[in-house]
């Protein structure tokens, strides 16, 4: 968990401006810190330099865009993130160990390697099967207490238990538990995934770590099953349903809204929410 709120604020600025030319000074100025002090604090919290973090996110988000936007050319995607055609291909291959053209051939297939279970393939259903389960829904804004993590999604359950214990006095009958995910673990190293753990709260809550998650139009899939199967369903939505639907994912990030949990048998009911336009 990030202990320094300014680092979390800096990450918000970076992800919101990822398709711009962002300098270390830009981010430090946004946080009202000196460039050198901010750089030290950021590396202590994240384990990466500001420059390396920005470059990594550009490479990973561009790969997600290539995965979801099959009508976009590789050159156009590279330009979006500030690269010329040749520079983008070189940078992409250096980071992902595969060229953009080769990467594009590996996505939108009916199965993919499972990053959390070695030697297992995540197998996907047909577009029609996902489409029957997905509802396009307008969600309201959520005012939430949140904590931000950089790490493995497999730690989500443990982190949620600690989070709800810490803020148990804010739990009410209608409280929703939400996680907001920024990365695709089929692309991002599983130890470097960025996510927020959240709990809905009254808008007058005086805690410092309160934010509003923007609502709007979402493709919502009601998941009712075992926790280890969530990844396979989400990847099916991203690999099969979204690229073949009439929708595009917008610049908001995905949400998981928990409806019912049974820790003993690892069964869960939750809404997998993908922001769309």
Do 208 and 79 sit in the same domain of this protein?
A: no
Do 148 and 79 sit in the same domain of this protein?
A: no
CATH of the domain at 31: 1.10.10.60
**3 state DSSP class of 164:** helix
Do 194 and 245 sit in the same domain of this protein?
A: yes
Do 102 and 140 sit in the same domain of this protein?
A: no
- Residue 111 counted as domain residue: no
- Residue 57 counted as domain residue: yes
**3 state DSSP class of 272:** strand
Q: How many domains does the chain have?
A: 2
Do 101 and 12 sit in the same domain of this protein?
A: yes
pLDDT in tens, the chain (277 residues): 898 999 999 999 999 999 999 999 999 999 999 999 999 999 999 999 999 999 999 999 999 999 988 788 999 999 999 999 889 999 999 999 999 999 998 888 899 999 999 889 999 999 999 999 999 999 999 999 999 999 999 999 999 999 999 999 999 999 999 999 999 999 999 999 999 999 999 999 999 999 999 999 999 999 999 999 999 999 999 999 999 999 999 988 999 999 998 878 889 999 999 999 9
Given 106, 125, 153, which residue is the final one in a domain?
106
Q: Which residue has the tokens 């973090």?
A: 53
Q: How far is CA 58 from the centre of its chain?
A: 13
Burial class (CB in 10 A: 0-12, 13-18, 19+), 173: exposed
Do 139 and 215 sit in the same domain of this protein?
A: yes
- State the residue range of the domain holding 20: 5-106
3-state helix, strand, coil in the chain (%, to 5): 45, 25, 30
| Residue 257 near residue 270, CB atoms below 8 Å | yes
């Amino acid at each position: 968990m990030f202990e320094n709120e300014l680092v979390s604020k800096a990450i918000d600025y970076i992800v919101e401006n990822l398709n711009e030319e962002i300098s270390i000074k830009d981010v430090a100025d946004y946080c009202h810190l000196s460039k050198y002090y901010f750089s030290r604090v950021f590396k202590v919290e994240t384990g990466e330099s500001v420059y390396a973090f920005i470059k990594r996110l550009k490479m990973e988000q561009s790969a997600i865009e290539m995965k979801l936007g099959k009508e976009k050319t590789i050159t156009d995607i590279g330009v979006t993130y500030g690269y010329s055609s040749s520079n983008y291909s070189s940078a992409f291959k250096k980071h992902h160990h595969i060229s953009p053209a080769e990467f594009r051939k590996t996505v939108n297939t009916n199965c993919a390697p499972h990053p959390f279970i070695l030697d297992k393939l995540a197998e996907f259903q047909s577009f029609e099967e996902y489409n029957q389960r997905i509802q396009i829904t307008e969600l309201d804004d959520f005012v939430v207490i949140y904590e931000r993590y950089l790490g493995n999604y497999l730690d989500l359950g443990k982190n949620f238990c600690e989070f709800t214990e810490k803020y148990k006095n804010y739990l009410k009958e209608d409280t929703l538990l939400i996680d907001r995910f920024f990365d695709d673990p089929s692309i991002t190293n599983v130890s470097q995934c960025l996510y927020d753990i959240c709990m809905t709260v009254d808008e007058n809550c005086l805690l410092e770590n309160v934010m509003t998650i923007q609502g709007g139009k979402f493709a919502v899939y009601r998941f009712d099953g075992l926790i280890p199967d969530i990844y396979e369903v989400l990847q099916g939505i991203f690999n099969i349903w979204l690229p073949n639907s009439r929708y595009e994912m917008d610049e908001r990030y995905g949400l998981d809204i928990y409806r019912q949990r049974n820790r003993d048998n690892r069964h869960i009911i939750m809404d997998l929410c993908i922001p769309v336009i």
